[in-house]
Amino acid sequence: EEEKSLNFIEEIIEEDLRNGKNDGRVLTRFPPEPNGYLHIGHAKSICLNFSLAQKYNGKTNLRFDDTNPVTEDVEYVDSIKKDIQWLGFQWAEELYTSDYFDTLYEYAKQLIKHDLAYVDDSNSEEIAASKGTPTKPGVPTVYRSRSIEENLQLFEDMRAGKYKDGEKVLRAKIDLASPNMHMRDPILYRIKHADHHRTGDKWPIYPMYDFAHGQSDSIEKITHSVCTLEFIPHRPLYDWLIDRLEIFPSKQYEFARLNLSYTVMSKRKLLQLVNEKLVDSWDDPRMPTISGLRRRGYTPESIRNFCERIGIQKRENMIDVSLLEFCIREDLNKTAWRRMAVLDPIKLVITNYPEGQVEELEGENNPEVEGGEGNRMIPFSKELWIEREDFMEDAPKKFFRLGPGLSVRLKHGYIVTCTDFKKDEQGNVTEVYCEYAPNSKSGEDTSGIKVKGTIHWVSVAHAKEAEVRLYDRLFQDENPAAAEDFKASINPDSLQIIEKAYIEPDLANAEVGKGYQFIRLGYFTLDSKHTTADKLVFNRTVTLKDSWAK
Residue positions annotated with a catalytic role: 33, 257, 267
Q: Which is nearer to Mg ion, 268 or 423 (CB)?
A: 268
> How near is the Cβ of 24 to ligand ATP at its closest, in Å?
24
Find the helix or strand (DSSP H, E) in which 392 lies.
Answer: none
**Nearer to Mg ion by C-beta: 33 or 156?**
33
**Half-sphere exposure at residue 294, Cβ-oriented, CA atoms within 13 angstroms:** 22
The residue at minimum Cβ distance from ligand ATP is 41
- Shortest distance (Å) from residue 155 CB to ligand ATP: 27
Determine contact, residues 20/12, Cβ cutoff 8 Å: no
- Helix, strand, coil % in the chain, rounded to nearest 5: 35, 25, 40
In this structure, the strands spanning 464-471 and 537-542 are: parallel
User: Residue 261 Cβ, how far from Mg ion at the closest point, in Å?
Assistant: 20
User: Which CB atom, from 33 or from 472, has the smaller least distance to Mg ion?
Assistant: 33
357, β-bridge pairs: none
CA–CA dist 510, 340 (Å, integer): 12
Cα separation, 483 vs 501, whole angstroms: 38
Distance CA 116, CA 121 (A): 17
First-to-last alpha carbon distance for the chain, in angstroms, is 26
Write phi, then psi, for 324 (nearest 5 degrees).
Answer: -65, -40
Coil vs helix vs strand at 522: strand
The one-letter amino acid code at 517 reads Q
Tell which positions 10-39 bind Mg ion, by CB under 5 A: 33
Cβ atoms of residues 254 and 9 within 8 Å: no
Note the Cα 66 to chain centre separation in Å.
21
Interacting partner of 31 out of ligand ATP, Mg ion, none (Cβ under 5 to 8 A depending on kind):
ligand ATP
Smallest distance, ligand ATP to C-beta of residue 242, A: 18
- Residue 119, strand partner residues: 170
**Least Å distance between CB 143 and Mg ion?**
29
Distance of CA 368 to the CA centre of its chain: 27
Of 39 and 196, nearer to Mg ion (C-beta) is 39
Q: How far is the CB of 287 from ligand ATP (least distance, A)?
A: 12
CB of 44 to ligand ATP, least distance (A): 4
Instruction: Give 45 or 407: the residue with its C-beta nearer to ligand ATP.
Output: 45
Q: Are 415 and 401 in contact (CB under 8 A)?
A: no
Q: Are 285 and 226 in contact (CB under 8 A)?
A: no
Alpha-carbon gap, residue 283 to 274, rounded angstroms: 9
Amino acid identity of residue 185, one-letter, is: D
φ, ψ of residue 526 to 5 degrees: the values are -70, 135
Binding mask 239-278 for Mg ion (x = CB under 5 A): ----------------------------------------
C-beta of 37 vs 203, nearer to ligand ATP: 37
Binding site for ligand ATP (CB under 6 A): 31-33, 41-42, 44-45, 65, 227-228, 257-258, 265-267
Q: Which is nearer to Mg ion, 36 or 345 (CB)?
A: 36
Letters for 334-373 (x = contact with Mg ion by CB under 5 A, - = none) are: ----------------------------------------
Q: What is the DSSP letter of 508?
A: G
Q: Outline where DSSP puts E strands in 405-460.
A: 407-410, 415-423, 429-436, 454-455, 458-459
CB of 267 to Mg ion, least distance (A): 5
**From the list Mg ion, ligand ATP, none, partner contacted by residue 45 (C-beta under 5 to 8 A by kind):** ligand ATP
Could you say which of Mg ion, ligand ATP, none residue 228 binds, taking C-beta under 5 to 8 angstroms by partner kind? ligand ATP
Our CB check for ligand ATP shows the closer of 247 and 260 to be: 260
Distances (CA, A) of 242 to 111, 332, 358, 443: 11, 47, 77, 72
Residues that bind Mg ion (CB under 5 A): 33
